[in-house]
A and B are shown apart, each in its own frame.
Chain A
Amino acid sequence: MIGWETLLFILSMISLISPLVLVLFLGLVALAGLETSEETVSRFAFFTITAGLLSTIGLVIAFSLGSQSEIPVELGHWVNLPEQHFHFHIKLLLDKLSLPFLLLVYLLCGVISAFTSRYLHREPGFRRFYLLFSLFTLGMVITSISGTIEVLFFGWELVGLSSALLVGFFHDRQSPVVNGLRVWSIYRIADAAFLVAAIAMHHLTGEGDFDKMLGAGAWPTGVTTFNATQAFWVGGLLMIAVAGKSALIPFSGWLPRAMEGPTPSSAIFYGALSVHLGAFLLLRVSPIVAASPLLTGVVIGLGAATALSAALIARVQSDIKSILAYASLIQVGLIVIEIGLGWHYFALAHILGHASWRTLQLLSAPGVLRDYYTIETALGRRLARRVQDDRQSRQWPMSLTWYRWGWERGYLDTWLELFFIRPFLGFFRKCDRWETAWNQRLTRWLSFDAGRNSLAPETNHQDTQSEIENGEISPPELTKGPH
């Protein structure tokens, strides 16, 4: 007879390992250079995700029947240096937050997997999509049931990597790739803040376990051991991570960029899971938010600002994906406000409901467009569109300014580009040019016997041509080579 704890352990391990098996299968197949049929891939995905989903349902039932408010599942130490008090503790935490979110992850990933098997049929990157999708699922599962900050960070990073690569899925075009890089850059900055916060939490408590860091009580009743100042700084760093992952202000610019990916990946990013991951983290560390009134204010303010700006931007978008993306962001902003106000269960329910609803919308969007197209083709003319009467809104003060502000997506990308990216890269580009010039001078000075032609290293013509095109160097500078 299997004991209660053994059953929980087995079920949680199946939940954890199912997507890992999928990743290993697809990864090893790719590494070995083997060809697998689409059917094999989609069936394997179906079985592993179904196994994960069933075990999660089992966990939810077991948890509901039990009397415990949280169940930790110990998996030992990944790395342990006891004399230095350094350890990577692998622990899963089954509680009222992790289980609903895990169930959501499996449900939506299962739906999207089934949708993809038809949507990307005969697409050259079919297997690549499934590999990245399985990595994403694994990251989401790990993040959902992580019991320590380190394990959560592990899953968080996997989600970031797979998201960026899925945005650039159609990689034979430049635009998706450029947007994928932008998403990755934002994620890296946010992840850096997360890592610093994790290490700071580790330092302050000596542990990475959530139950130690966030008080003895189960979620959401835990009370953190941090004082208000500590909570503000640690929480502030976590807020950067949350803002990066959930596209809150000032990082909202990546959200419409993520639409470059195929519809299934869009659905799991800004529709359902990825965009809610920040809110999930905020819920997980909600005792820290509650410990600092200032931080609570920041959380509410950021949520409100994001929801407001997204509402303005969404009104003036001209394509269905952008409208849905900003509609998602409005809801995420509201969820963040709810977390700030301490309405934890309400926020969780909001996440679950919104994610499911938005996934449905996004997955049906291509079908709606196709239906329109079919009807219009059959009719032989364009359908009559409902023209919105915007005379009233034009009477608002500064309506044109707000319109333009919304159209330009709050100028967030422009500001980021103007005040951070360009000066930063510009500085290093200058340094690069100085270094090159210095090395050329030094070579001239130190080379007595070398031929004139050999002074310049082998360079690619594309480099210089591109630098001129980008305005990084002017043509006369090119003639400043060795004489």
Chain B
Amino acid sequence: MQLSMPWLDLAIAVPALAALIVPWMKSEHGRWSISTLAACLSLILSLVAWAEFGRLHVFEAHEQWSWLETWGENVVVIDEFNAPLIPLTALLFLLVIGVTPMSKRKRFPWSVTLLSGSATLMLFSCGDSRWVISLLALQTLLPILDLIQRRQPTGIFIAHQVLSLTLIVCGWSLLPSVDQPEVNSSVVGLVLLTVGLLVRCGVSPLHGWQIDLVERASFGTTILYLVPLTGVYGMVRLVLPTAPDWITQWIAIMSLITAVYAAGMALVQNSPRKLFVYLLISNSSLLLVGLETVTPLGLTGSLSLWMSQGFSLAAFGMTLRAIEGRVGRVSLSHFQGLYEQMPLLGGFFLLAGLASIGFPGTVGFVAYELLIEAVIDVYSYSGVVVVCVMALNGIAVMRSYFRLFTGHAAVATISMQPRWYERIAIIVFSVFILLGGFVPQPGIATRYHAAQEMIQRRRPLTTLPTASSNQNNVQDNQVNESDEKEIHEY
């Protein structure tokens, strides 16, 4: 089945074209206007693609007249899994670009951000494993350029990304092809691939680069690089289709430990930026735990959580960025008392934070319920750990709200109320967060279909590569030769 127009190609191309135009603009306002317009157009196009895909009632669709598909069959594909993630990513870019505070517009890297947006959209539209890896690599350029521009050391970030990408490339190259169904190499390949992607996801103890990035890079860049959860996307595209149960279990254990650790660390942070990243790590780890249950409920929960985290943590980060744009970097070690100056931002900060912990009535509530249910089904008592992580994150969110907005009445000589574009963003996100919370069924239903399809298409390597099982695995692989090819592309 095909979409009637190359909507996704256009959604990817528009920011890229805008990136070429923006450097020629002389005024800051002009750059901001063009970039916002491009991001807005990209969002509309991706929404149109999603809407048309929804009418086709198929798991996967390609585009008519797609020029990007000349590079490979699955370079641009829309399926049940990525269909809502593409508009979410576009929305995220629109949010970061559109609500860039005026004080930061002068040094905001418009072109690089637009190019990065284009690459990220392409990554989320991509089903071809080679291209997924290439785009994962390409995406690292935005933070590096940002760090260089700010004259900050890039060592930690580059070292971790190089490690991650090297492992991913080595692992992927060892995966079985049609001609060489070697189980040993494929298991080693999967392990390397998994470890590489876990580094990219920020699993402890290799999450330090995320902390370093958020402290040194601009907050906008950090949000754009971390919130879309490209590492998790890579995990779903590259590992999940073929990972045997013992690998998924190990991923789940690592992720669960990370979730607990990050939730504990979020409680003691004095930097709002670090708090944001620890919340993100904790939540994305829980998401991974749900994915690795490989059950319809777990996958549905995780995919729903992905969407809800996209909304809520982006909104949370946006509020922190707006605060920094007004008063500079603030600390949680003291009460800042900003509520009197920016009550709307305060309320929105709390709403976004509560949504990120799955508070009832917000978009993440049902997702977390599904996740806990699935984790208890598969890992029994580990479900309690998930609940504890939620509780800890809840305390961290409330602490940060109290520290930032209360404690005394801050005095300002100028108005710190949100600007009109920020007000629009706040209203839009509030509506999403609350509507998703009160009417969750449509979103959950689409995620459930995606989860079912993902499970049906999954062809795990059967066992550990022990001597007794090697022969069976080889036979299985030969029988499923055609399937393997399909999975590699999936």
Contact = CB atoms under 8 A, between A and B. Distances in A.
24 contacts: A31-B430, A79-B444, A86-B370, A86-B373, A88-B366, A154-B361, A171-B337, A172-B406, A173-B407, A174-B335, A174-B408, A181-B398, A185-B398, A432-B269, A435-B265, A443-B156, A443-B212, A447-B154, A450-B152, A451-B151, A454-B153, A458-B215, A463-B333, A466-B331
Nearest to B418: A33
A61 interface: no
Nearest to A462: B331
Interface string A420-450: 0000110111011001001100110111001
Contacts of B369: 88, 150
B297 interface: yes
Given A78-B440, A81-B448, A177 B402 contact: yes
Nearest to A164: B398
A472 B300 CA distance: 42
Contacts, number: 184
A429 B268 contact: yes
Contacts of B340: 172
Contact of A158 (B297, B339, B360, B406): B360
Interface of A: 30-33, 77-81, 83-84, 86, 88, 150, 153-154, 157-158, 161, 164, 168, 171-174, 177-178, 180-181, 184-185, 188-189, 191-192, 195-196, 199, 202-203, 424-425, 427-429, 431-432, 435, 438-439, 442-443, 445-447, 450-451, 454-455, 457-460, 462-463, 465-467, 470
Contacts of A455: 153
Contacts of B267: 425, 428
A172 B211 CA distance: 32
Contacts of B347: 30-31
Q: Looking at chain B, what size class is its interface with the partner chain?
A: 35 or more
B423 A33 contact: yes
Interface stretch (B126-134, B380-388, B480-488): B380-388
A88 B369 CA distance: 10
A30 B444 CA distance: 30
Nearest to A433: B268
A175 B76 CA distance: 56
A450 B153 contact: yes
A425 B391 contact: no
Contacts of B376: 199, 203
B399 interface: yes
B23 interface: no
B46 to A, nearest CB: 26
Nearest to A202: B373
B277 to A, nearest CB: 12
B418 to A, nearest CB: 9
B329 interface: yes
Contacts of A451: 151
A147 B395 CA distance: 29
A447 B155 contact: yes
A377 to B, nearest CB: 31
**Residue of A171, A439, A466 with highest tally of chain B CB at under 10 A:** A171
B153 A459 contact: no
Contact of A192 (B153, B155, B359, B388): B388
Contacts of A80: 441
Given A429-B268, A460-B329, A463-B270, A199 B373 contact: yes
Contacts of A33: 344, 417, 423
Nearest to B399: A181
Interface in B432-478: 440-441, 444-445, 448
A463 B407 contact: no
Given A31-B426, A172-B409, A439 B370 contact: no
B172 to A, nearest CB: 26
A238 to B, nearest CB: 14
A454 B152 contact: yes
Contacts of A466: 270, 331, 333-334
The 4 tightest CB contacts between A and B, nearest first, are A446-B155, A466-B333, A457-B215, A171-B406
B155 A188 contact: no
B398 A462 contact: no
A158 B361 contact: yes
A245 B383 CA distance: 23
Given A192-B388, A202-B373, 18 more contacts: A30-B343, A31-B344, A79-B441, A80-B441, A88-B366, A153-B360, A164-B398, A173-B407, A177-B335, A177-B406, A425-B267, A443-B155, A454-B151, A454-B152, A455-B153, A457-B215, A462-B270, A466-B334
Contacts of B297: 81, 84, 86
B196 interface: no
